[in-house]
Structure 1
Amino acid sequence: MNSKTIAYGILRALGIVVGVVILLWFLYKIQSILLYITFAAVISLMGRPLVLFLKKRLKFNNSLAVIFTLFITIGLFLSLFLLFVPIVTEQGQLIGEIDINEVGDDLDQLNQEISDYFNVKKLNFVELIKQTDLMEFFDLKAIPEAINTFLSGFGALLIGLFSVLFISFFLLKDSKLLEKSLMVFAKSEDETRFMRAFNKIKDLLSRYFVGLLLQILILFILYTILLLIFGVHNAIAVALIAAIFNLIPYVGPLFGGALVLILATTSNLGLDFQSIILPKLTYILIGYIAIQLIDNFLNQPLIFGNSVKSHPLEIFLAILIFGALFGIGGLIVAVPFYTAIKVIAKEFLSEYKIVKQLTKEL
């Protein structure tokens, strides 16, 4: 091997490294655009069954079916936003009408009752507040900066919303658009297998996201019934928020349960803790746990196991692994990514025994 060959090899390797670095830098710079495309792809996968239904059953043309689907999607998100309004409005009114002395007496009474019931030392909230030095957070100089941050964030939200809807429209209108865009990365001899894998992934993930919506709907109905029975304020909105928390596997239900218990407590602030608040919280907690058991042992295995054709143990392990690697975000994307990996492995690595065993149901 002469010196020219060695120099060529070094330069080639260096060029590959530089190219990879530039590509990663470019992807980092356009990460917001990639996020828009990802959200649009999810919306298109969720809306795909509705578009097909409108075209085949109701004889809509393609563009009208897509527009109708997007209007329904916008309506759902708008409904979610409007359900949050009562909570925000009520909390704003409570803050405006708050009586510091009365609230202090209520908190002190609640603190005393909790301390007596559990036989623990009473906490001095006044001293705790003094120690935290909350006045440091009320810096008037930070108000203009906070307003500018809010306005820029609101503008970015509007741009992002328009971008997602615009991209979603074309992905729904032309179901082959995303496929054609990804085909540029496939070798000519692998195009058939690539297309087969892509169509399988698209079908499975479409069913998965529809199943996810069904899970949230079932939980929302059950939570609403539970909270209405025990008279929690804004039961419908609180139930919806708790149901949405379930999008985060395992961790989400804990946050949702904590939110439900906190709002149930504030709804009864000033009442006797031992005879009213504690029994009500206990019954709500029992009901919440029962609903989670129904979801874990009935909803999820039936909905997700059938939609992505994976064993519940596979899904559980995939969620744990992705969560350990990528945190909360990994928990959310674990099932879709694992499903895509399985389909790709079946198409390109089917000669391995472990791949055959894991993908035999696909």
Structure 2
Amino acid sequence: MFSLLTSWYKERFSDPQAVTLVFILVAIALAIYFAGGLLAPLIVALVLAFLLEWPVAQMVKVGINRTTGASLVLVLFIGIMLLLTFGLVPSVWKQGVSLVSDLPSMLDKGLITIKGYVELYPQFMSTTQLDTMVSELKKLLDTQHIFDLGKQLIGYSASLLVLMVYAILVPLLVFFFLKDKDFLIKGSKRFIPTNRDLARKVWLEMNQQIFNYIRGKVIEIVIIGAVSYIFFAIMDLRYAALLGVLTGFSVLIPYVGATLVTLPIALVAFFQWGVSPEFGYLMLGYGIIQALDGNLLVPILFSDAVDLHPVFIIAAVLVFGGLWGVWGVFFAIPLASLVKAVINAWPQSAKVSEEKPNKEHTVS
């Protein structure tokens, strides 16, 4: 057994380029896993700088100084974020609080409607079974418990110190990453082994691909969220802004997100209209939006994305989401594509390299 492992190790890791690539990937993964909380502002700044590098590079091409270009892009980005924060977040927050406070009355209304159907079709469910299910549901959705949980979440996620750190440090870090990009890259190469050609090959393959994916995903979130909000508002659905935002962000989790966000939309529509033509029109329109997203928008935005099987995509969402939370879910597909690129670029063993020419010779 030991000799088998030794032989496998020599075949796969005899190339110094492969060892360097593994070293780089393991070092980055360990740093994010064990020090992700401490390095969160730095990681956020790196991601934002990566996204904002393209407009800065375009400005440099037309003759604008890199410092000036970085400043203009950063100011524009901060302006858009402030506009979204003070224009969208208060409305979404207000509707979220209203939804929580209206849950008891919505449940009572839904209970009356369901009881009517139970009385019409007692062969499927008895009134006693329905009362038992409703009592358990009310325990889970206890209003005071939800409010207490919300206060705890607000206390953890919106502390003044954390907000100050992100509001001050992240823009500064983004500015310096954009302004001094070449200097920082040159300085970081001192800590990387010289045998890094394979790592450079993988990075060049993934660089544009990751950027295209993130850009496409942001565009998809904006389009789906805006279209869903407009449709919900036209239908006069309650909590249209909140449900539109949830629908937009649901595209972050492939296949699973759309399924999860369908439940609150259907429940709100059912409690508002019951089983009626309006309920059917809403669910039909929502289904059309999801179908257009999956069959038209996604192929256009991600036409050059790496072809990954749905099983691998869902597995990547579960694994990387479990490791790094929201960021892991957001970057699940790029990380899965990175794994695939590493596997494709990995040096083949001598036996495999010899077998391929022999097979080709035999076939010819």
Same fold (TM over 0.5): yes
Q: CA separation of 1:218/1:38 partners in 2, compared to 1, >3 Å: closer, same or farther?
A: same
CA–CA separation in structure 1 for the residues paired with 2:140 and 2:259: 30
Match of 1:223 among 228, 240, 259: 228
Q: CA separation of 1:292/1:106 partners in 2, compared to 1, >3 Å: closer, same or farther?
A: closer
> In structure 2, the residue corresponding to 1:124 is in which secondary structure?
helix
Match of 1:112 in 2: 115
Match of 2:43 among 26, 38, 41: 38
CA–CA separation in structure 2 for the residues paired with 1:130 and 1:213: 36
What is the letter of the counterpart of residue 58 of structure 2? Answer: F
Match of 1:156 in 2: 162
CA–CA separation in structure 1 for the residues paired with 2:242 and 2:312: 31
- The number of aligned residues is 315
Q: CA separation of 1:110/1:305 partners in 2, compared to 1, >3 Å: closer, same or farther?
A: same
CA–CA separation in structure 2 for the residues paired with 1:322 and 1:282: 35
Q: Cα RMSD between the aligned structures?
A: 4.3
What is the letter of the counterpart of residue 297 of structure 2? Answer: N
Match of 1:252 in 2: 257
Q: CA separation of 1:201/1:235 partners in 2, compared to 1, >3 Å: closer, same or farther?
A: same
CA–CA separation in structure 2 for the residues paired with 1:346 and 1:25: 23
The unaligned stretches of length 5 or more in structure 1 are: 1-22, 357-362
Q: Provide the identity percentage.
A: 19
What is the letter of the counterpart of residue 173 of structure 2? Answer: I
Q: CA separation of 1:248/1:345 partners in 2, compared to 1, >3 Å: closer, same or farther?
A: same
1:45–1:202: 8 Å Cα contact kept in structure 2?
Answer: no
Larger mean CA deviation between 201-210 and 125-134 belongs to 125-134
Match of 2:287 in 1: 289
Higher RCO (CA 8 Å, separation ≥ 6 residues) = 2
> In structure 1, the residue corresponding to 2:252 is in which secondary structure?
coil
Larger mean CA deviation between 333-342 and 323-332 belongs to 323-332
Q: How far off its partner does 1:296 sit?
A: 1.9
> In structure 1, the residue corresponding to 2:302 is in which secondary structure?
helix
CA–CA separation in structure 2 for the residues paired with 1:157 and 1:184: 34
Q: How far off its partner does 1:83 sit?
A: 1.5
What is the letter of the counterpart of residue 34 of structure 1? Answer: L
- TM-score, normalisation: structure 2: 0.68
2:254–2:314: 8 Å Cα contact kept in structure 1?
Answer: no
- TM-score, normalisation: structure 1: 0.68
Match of 2:19 in 1: none
Q: CA separation of 1:213/1:318 partners in 2, compared to 1, >3 Å: closer, same or farther?
A: same
Q: How far off its partner does 1:208 sit?
A: 1.6
The superposition leaves residues 129-156 of structure 1 with CA deviations (integer Å, 9 ceiling, x where unpaired) of 7984998967xxx99x959945873422
CA–CA separation in structure 2 for the residues paired with 1:173 and 1:62: 6
Q: How far off its partner does 1:218 sit?
A: 2.5
- Is the aligned partner of 1:52 residue 2:46? no
What is the letter of the counterpart of residue 255 of structure 1? Answer: L
Q: How far off its partner does 1:249 sit?
A: 1.4
Q: CA separation of 1:121/1:61 partners in 2, compared to 1, >3 Å: closer, same or farther?
A: farther
Match of 1:128 in 2: 135
Match of 2:6 in 1: none
Q: CA separation of 1:305/1:161 partners in 2, compared to 1, >3 Å: closer, same or farther?
A: farther
The unaligned stretches of length 5 or more in structure 2 are: 1-27, 357-364
